[in-house]
Amino acid sequence: MAWALTSVRLTKPMSRCERPKFMKSLYSEQRTWLHGVPASVKLVFLAVLGTGLFFTDQLLTLGASALVCVAIFVSLGRITASAKPLLMGLVIASVLIAVFHLTMRHPTLAAVTVLRLVSTTLMGIALTLTTRYSDLLHVFERVLSPLKIFGIASEQLALQLALMLRFTEHFFILWRRLDDAHRLRTGKAGGFKILAPLTIQMLVAARRVADTLHVRLRR
């Protein structure tokens, strides 16, 4: 398992908007039309979309929403290739959910749930591909700033939310890298064999972030 730790390096405390350097990102430097949309607009759209979809169970509305989200995602072009592990996860989750509801003889519920999942997940991935960590952090800080009235440290809360999103992204990137490395060595997919090194790297990353935050928040 020692080889699983080699890619994790010590880092200096991060600045206010700096992402930990050992945490990989899906953000693409290749510009698309969605890169030009402010992070605040994209977050508001995702929040409204996610909320709105759960207030309707009309298949026509949900289907139209899913088609629009697929069109937006596809319009991003080549940069979507880096999100393959996330898309695979989406497909697997959709199939499992659909099979479960169909087994329970609820075909309409299966369709409704899958369409909601596809719409929100694709937009979440699109946000990740086209939005910098620092931009997300700035938006969270602005949105949460009124909480200071109640004595809540809004900057700390914003940082925690931004890191939560990055850890999800970091997990899938590590999964892909370890699986690719296993394929190069053995010619086969990693499967459960990469679970141990993946867990180790995620735990080490979490510890690094915790240490960095401890130093930063004590200032």
28 within 8 A of 129, measured Cβ to Cβ: yes
Residue 93, Cβ density class (10 Å: 0-12 exposed, 13-18 middle, ≥19 buried): middle
Percent with pLDDT over 70 in the chain: 83
Is 50 exceeded by the pLDDT of residue 4? Answer: no
CB atoms closer than 10 angstroms to residue 207: 11
Residues 6+ apart with CB under 8 A from 146: 154
**CA–CA dist 90, 123 (Å, integer):** 12
Residues 6+ apart with CB under 8 A from 129: 26, 27, 28, 34, 76, 79, 80, 82, 83
Tell me what pLDDT residue 129 has.
Answer: 92
For the segment 5-29, the average pLDDT, to the nearest whole number, is 52
The alpha carbons of the chain give a radius of gyration, in whole angstroms, of 19
For the segment 182-188, the average pLDDT, to the nearest whole number, is 83
Give Cα 31 to chain centroid, integer Å: 19
Q: Return phi, psi of residue 160, to 5°.
A: -65, -40
Is 50 exceeded by the pLDDT of residue 174? Answer: yes
Is 50 exceeded by the pLDDT of residue 3? Answer: no
**CA–CA dist 35, 135 (Å, integer):** 11
For the whole prediction, is pTM greater than 0.75?
no
Tell me what pLDDT residue 95 has.
Answer: 94
**CA–CA dist 102, 92 (Å, integer):** 15
For residues 45, 20, 164 and 96, what is the CA-based torsion angle, rounded to 10 degrees?
A: 90
What is the distance in angstroms between the CA of the first residue and the CA of the last residue of the chain?
36
| pLDDT tens for each residue of 107-155 | 999 999 999 999 999 999 999 899 988 888 888 888 888 888 888 777 7
Q: How confident is the model at residue 80 (pLDDT cuts 50, 70, 90)?
A: very high
Tell me what pLDDT residue 13 has.
Answer: 42
For the segment 60-83, the average pLDDT, to the nearest whole number, is 94
Q: Return phi, psi of residue 26, to 5°.
A: -85, -5
155 within 8 A of 77, measured Cβ to Cβ: no
For the segment 63-75, the average pLDDT, to the nearest whole number, is 96
